Each structure stands twice: as structure tokens, then as C-alpha cells.
Amino acid sequence: MKGIYTALITPFAEDKIDIKAWHKILDFQKKNKVHGVVVGGTTGESPTLTDEELTVLISVALEYQSSDFKIVLGIGGNDTIRTSAKAQIILSKLKQKPDAIMSATPYYNKPHAAGIEAHFNHLAKTISPISLCLYNVPGRTGVHLEPESFARIIAQNSNCNTLKEASGNLQTTTDFIQVSKQFKDVNILSGDDPLFIPGLICGCQGIISVSSNMIPHILRAVWDAFESKDFDKLNQFHLSLFKFHQVLFCAPNPIPVKWLMEKQGLCHAEYRLPLMTLEASLHSKVMNAWQEVQNIGISSIP
């Protein structure tokens, strides 16, 4: 995995999956040439999705799968056996397989490094030969994947070749990048939109992004500037996008981005408890940041 991947929201209508909006969202992403999407991540409110709903979401997404538009399925949990069984059950129901499965470190249990390693080793073997994208997000899970653990996991599992790194710390990101250089074709993807461009400079090979739910075309332009080594343009993008990236996290994700997507006619701003709608006091803050992004002047394909 490398390039621009969108961590998709899940559209709801009257507490059910909004299939019409789901198609619209997938169309929007593919037309704007991101490299792939993640279905059923935390941006997609995965803790509130049933296995049946997740199966429907991934089945529809796989209709859009191609060599230049990859589909990644999010499956995580803090019970190793149940997480692996869930992956097996959902995969068995699919007519075609996703390009990868993304899974975060087990949350709440706070396992030691050896426990995290055993968890990912078990899951990797369960889903093989499908690729496993590990996800380090200590702010949500309460545990940190150590770079040394990452090295041991990928050394033992040929289908572990990607890490979504969302610690919010460039030193940690750099540590993972240095470890990845010991292996062939192992990529570190940024999991923090505000640090995306600094991450690219440090050696990341892309991003799994929340912002690209709204601005896939702009993030693809960032990637193209990176590929062409246009560092002046990258600096301009970083300064122009930084506020927007930050504002999308002024309330728990995906509340702000889903609220904006409703304004663009992509979906309803409907959430499942315990998430609730964007507070009125934040409306102008989010909208102003969105309007500033329009000044970048890169048009999306509707």
C-alpha cells in the first residue's frame, strides 16, 4: 500500500446504512483518483456497526475495486480469537477479497509488547495471503506498538507489509520508517492529516486520511507534487491545508467531516450514539476552514 487512501465515513439514514449515499461516496473517491479507501475503520464508526452491516459495506465497495483503486477492510478488536474469527466469517461471505485488512492494536486491555505481537501474528496467519495493515493509534487504544515489535511481526509474516502510523509524533514515525528500511516493500503510511506532508518528507509512502473524504482531489495533488519532488509546492500545500486538517478534529472524528459532507450533498450528517451532531458553536469554525480550502483552486470531480 502506498499513496492516498481515504478512511471513509459510514453514511446512515434513519439508523440504517444509506446505500445510495455509499455509492455516491465511492464514486466521488474513485473519480478523484485516490489510490484506495478503508471501509469500516473508526472514521466509519466501526464500533457501532454489526458484522452484517460491515459485510454489506465492503461488498458494495468491492464493486469499485481495481488495480488503481484498492479496497481495505477495517477489522479490529481486543479479543484476538474473536477478531480473527470475525475476519474469517466476513471474508467467507465475499465474492471477491479486499486488497488488505487494517487492524489497530488491541484497545483497553493494555497488553504488553509480546501480547500485541502475538495478536497480530495470529491475525496475519488467519487472513493470509491477504495483506495486513497494522495500525498504531495510541490515542484511541491506550497502547503503543513498538518499532521493534513491528520489525518482528513483519519478519514473521510475509503478508504484513504496511503500517498506519497515527501516534501524532514525528519522532515515532521516523523510528518506524527506519525500521521499515530493513525490509523490502514495507511502507509506513501517515495516519495524522496535519502531519501528512512532514511525514512524506521523513519517508512515509502515503496516508490514510480523514480529510480526503472531502478533498480527495487536493490530497492526490499533494501526492503528485511529492512524486515529482516539487518541494516548494509541498510546502505551500502544507501551509494551506494545515488549519483544515486540524479543524476536522475539533470534535470527535468523524463528526466534523460528516457534517461538512452533508453540506456537499454526499450524505446525511447522521451519527450513532455515543457520537452526536456537531455543536452549533463549532459550525462557523468548520465552515470557515472549509471555505479557505477552496482558495487552493483545485477542482474536484463530482
Catalytic residues: 135, 164
C-alpha cell at 144: 503503543
* Residue pair 124/155 in contact by the 8 Å Cβ criterion: no
3-state secondary structure of 104: strand
Residue 100 φ/ψ, nearest 5 degrees: -160, 165
* Residue pair 209/228 in contact by the 8 Å Cβ criterion: no
3-state secondary structure of 227: helix
* CA–CA dist 298, 235 (Å, integer): 16
Per DSSP, what are the bridge partners of residue 66? 69
* CA–CA dist 240, 193 (Å, integer): 13
Could you tell me the CA-to-CA distances from 123 to 70, 116, 128, 204 in Å, in that order? Answer: 20, 11, 9, 24
Collect all residues with Cβ–Cβ distance below 8 Å to 46 and sequence separation of at least 6.
10, 40, 54, 74, 76
Tell me whether strands 16-17 and 12-13 are parallel, antiparallel or unpaired: antiparallel
Find the helix or strand (DSSP H, E) in which 4 lies. Answer: strand 3-7
CB atoms within 10 A of CB 170: 18
3-state secondary structure of 161: strand
3-state secondary structure of 69: strand
* CA–CA dist 136, 153 (Å, integer): 13
